[in-house]
Amino acid sequence: MDEPISQSPKPQEVAPVVVEGETVMSFPEAMKQVIDGKKITRVEWKNKEIYCLINGEFLSIHKEDGKNYQWIVNDGDMLSTDWVVI
């Protein structure tokens, strides 16, 4: 007789994490915010003058010198969970 197919557990709701007064998110969550036109930064960077955004058709990083540079995302950025919207 065939065994019944087990149900996958329903994902549990996870409470937002707050670090230094900011609600932090994972990289995929942060990218959704960028697509919606928002600017994001990492708590680890400790400088809100450095942030990521879509500039024209490119994913860019705004640096302290006031210029935007094409952002080449690295593994550390993708795996980090300290992204915040500014």
Residue 50 has a CB neighbour count (10 Å cut-off) of 14
- pLDDT recorded at residue 85: 95
At 44, list the tokens: 């680890």
Q: What is the rounded CA–CA span in Å between residue 45 and residue 83?
A: 10
Residue numbers of the chain with a pLDDT score lower than 70? 1-16, 19-20
Could you say which DSSP state residue 23 is in? E
Residues in the chain: 86
Q: What per-residue confidence (pLDDT) applies to 71?
A: 94
Cβ–Cβ < 8 Å for 30, 40: yes
Q: Write down the pLDDT at residue 4.
A: 65
